Amino acid sequence: MRSRIFQAGGAIPPDSPTYVEREADSLVLDLVEHKELVHLIVARQMGKSCLLHRLATGLPEEYSFVWVDLSRLAGMERSRWYETLSGDVARHLGLDQVPRIVDQGGMYALLVEAAQFRPRKTVFVFDEIDSTRRLPFSDGFFSALRALYNARAGLPALRNLIFILVGATDPRKLIKDPSLSPFNVGQEVRMEEFTPRQTRQLTENLTLAGVAASDAVHERIYWWTSGQPYLTQKVCATLEGWQAREGIGRATVELVDRAVEEHILSSKANDSNLSHIRARLDQEQGAKAYLQRILSEGLQVPFEPYGALDGRITELYLIGVIKEGPDGNCVVRNRIYERMLEGFFRPPRCIGFRP
């Protein structure tokens, strides 16, 4: 039985024919090689796990790779949080004996020791950093990382510690206490959707799945998804599934529309990506109300996700529902989200999608 080509959800293997390199791939690699701290800013299901897996397998042997999912620690009290985190780090580094660490000072000391006594460069990926937003002690953790970065001038060994902070979070808000210095170190990389050319590179793999597709089909997929990686994979995976089960060997524009309607937009599909966006909007009522106003009144709102006084645009961008349009204003990311929002807001008075 032939293995499936397309995969909607989960990390795509780095050697998969459907893996498409984006600008973020080369930017992150370049920053890591220059030993910079990286903020990988990405909404859910935009391909960050795929990028990180590819980075981990593609780095030279002199690099170690430590990947910690901070969402696993959500809900823990401070001492338990640091103890679990330091244990994960120690295991990745192969350290046999580590004293019990219960605060940021102990974590700082552990990482300094790792830098001084390990000749290899170590890339630390702290994933799902947005899960720390409601922790009352997270300022200490990020202050320790900032201190490690700033101490590199006096202790060159610390340059072998390379941090990648990953998640849907504004780096300027990592440290919440206004009386503390902000987290003003590192370089930002945003993961955006595929370009039309990159989307075509992905959808061309329909032929490997036994599905013939005309230019009109490829264009229709992009018309719906605007290159959002998960949605593009899901449309193609649906077409591939129909080929395997029903012998449909040629895609049409009508079949693409059916795939979107039945397997993404319908309530029966209960699509995880759309469900996540709806849930996040319900959590951020101020941003939700602002988005509804933008859509219902057709407001032209400049896309300024960082540095703007209005944090609602930042929140909507990090949720993944808006992006910058050709005119520099906010637009909904794709037509699938546009359709979803029509049913989400009552009454459904959304403006038309602006590519």
183 in the same domain as 74: yes
pLDDT score, position 307: 55
Q: Is 33 inside any structural domain?
A: yes
Reading the chain (355 residues) residue by residue, the pLDDT tens digits are 568 999 988 888 878 999 999 999 999 999 999 999 999 999 989 999 999 999 999 899 899 999 999 999 988 999 999 999 999 998 888 887 778 899 999 999 999 988 988 878 999 999 999 999 889 999 999 999 999 999 999 999 999 999 999 999 999 899 999 999 999 999 999 999 999 999 999 999 999 999 999 999 999 999 999 999 999 999 999 999 999 999 999 999 999 999 999 999 999 999 999 999 999 999 999 999 999 999 999 889 999 876 555 789 999 999 999 999 999 999 999 999 999 999 888 654 444 444 4
Q: Is 100 inside any structural domain?
A: yes
Burial of residue 75 (CB within 10 Å: 0-12, 13-18, 19+) is: exposed
Domain limit, last residue, from 175, 190, 205: 190
Which residues are CB-neighbours of 188 under 8 A, at least 6 positions away?
A: 39, 41, 171
pLDDT score, position 2: 66
pLDDT score, position 99: 80
180 in the same domain as 43: yes
pLDDT score, position 94: 82
178 in the same domain as 74: yes
Domain limit, last residue, from 148, 165, 190: 190
146 in the same domain as 37: yes
pLDDT score, position 320: 95
Q: Is 18 inside any structural domain?
A: no
31 in the same domain as 149: yes
Q: Is 163 inside any structural domain?
A: yes
182 in the same domain as 37: yes
Scanning the chain, the segments in alpha helix (DSSP H) are 23-33, 48-58, 78-93, 104-117, 138-150, 196-203, 215-225, 229-246, 253-260, 272-283, 285-297, 311-319, 335-344
141 in the same domain as 284: no
185 in the same domain as 45: yes
Q: Is 351 inside any structural domain?
A: no
In the chain, how many domains are there? 2
**3-class SS of residue 35:** coil
Domain limit, last residue, from 190, 211, 238: 190
280 in the same domain as 186: no
178 in the same domain as 302: no
Q: Is 239 inside any structural domain?
A: no
Q: Is 151 inside any structural domain?
A: yes
pLDDT score, position 351: 44
Q: Is 217 inside any structural domain?
A: no
Cβ–Cβ < 8 Å for 219, 255: no
Output the CA torsion sign for 123, 124, 127, 132.
negative
Can you give the CATH number for the domain in which 113 is found? 3.40.50.300
| Separation between Cα atoms, residue 79 and residue 146, nearest integer Å | 20
Find the domain containing 308 and state its range.
272-344
